[in-house]
Amino acid sequence: MEPEAIKKLTSENPAEAVKLMFESVGDLVEDMRTRSAPEWAMQESLAQKLREGKLEACGVQSVPKQKRHLEVIPEHFFVDAKLNWDGNKVTNFGVTYSAVRVRRPIASATMPERHEETPSPSKVRGRPSKTPEIERAIELLLSKGVDLAKMPRPKAYEAVRKCAAGELNSDTLIGFTDPVIQRSLFSRFGPRR
């Protein structure tokens, strides 16, 4: 309704003018609700998928402590969470994550399983690998609290050889060379710094 018509109607019949104004506001609210319904449905669907673990969110913790690295936000965090869709923030349990992004889970369940290939007996050449025995010796040492990662590599090689000989009764004269042990240590602990 035009402003001039509203002025004229207000002077002639104020009650009718108020009724028309409320109807106009009601129509406006209904229009907003109709337009927002798909957005609200999408937001609720997204929140449900986050709670179920079908999607995962990551963000930077900003409250109570300001952190600088991206973290995966756990599924349970989204139960009764306050979601600020426009600000890309989520708050729950007194913690707020900012710069929140949603993605498909990168969990090991979605990654293809890695199968070790064992060559057929006709293609095996040379002596059997000692790597499985080296790995078992490393596991034993770690279970005893020996910190191979911080130990100088030559001492770590010797510790692995002694453990394999003493605990596993392995023949450490063949196949327990420094490069072979180094490969196992490197694959487990990464490069030396």
Q: In whole numbers, what is the pLDDT of the chain averaged over residues?
A: 82
Please give the residue range of the domain that contains residue 97. 50-105
Cβ neighbours for 58, distance < 8 A, ≥ 6 positions apart: 70, 71, 72, 73, 100, 101, 103
Do 13 and 54 lie in one domain? The reply is no
Q: Bridge-partner residues for 98, per DSSP?
A: 60
* 73, part of any domain: yes
Do 101 and 147 lie in one domain? The reply is no
119, pLDDT greater than 60: no
Do 95 and 139 lie in one domain? The reply is no
* 101, part of any domain: yes
Do 57 and 101 lie in one domain? The reply is yes
**pLDDT of 53-66, one tens digit each?**
899 999 999 988 88
The one-character DSSP state at 74 is: P
Pick from 91, 173, 93: nearest CA to 130: 173
* 117, part of any domain: no
114, pLDDT greater than 70: no
Do 133 and 179 lie in one domain? The reply is yes
Judged by average pLDDT, the poorest of 35-39, 55-59, 102-106 is 35-39
pTM value > 0.75:
no
For 17, list phi and psi in degrees, rounded to 5: -65, -45
Place of tokens 């710069």: 99
Residue 96: the pLDDT is: 93
Do 99 and 149 lie in one domain? The reply is no
Question: How many structural domains does the chain have?
Answer: 3
- Which of 41, 70, 105 terminates a domain? The answer is 105
More confident residue, 85 or 191: 85
110, pLDDT greater than 70: no
Q: Bridge-partner residues for 89, per DSSP?
A: 84
If pLDDT is split at 50, 70 and 90, which confidence band does 22 have? confident
* 176, part of any domain: yes
The one-character DSSP state at 148 is: T
Judged by average pLDDT, the poorest of 7-11, 50-54, 58-62 is 7-11
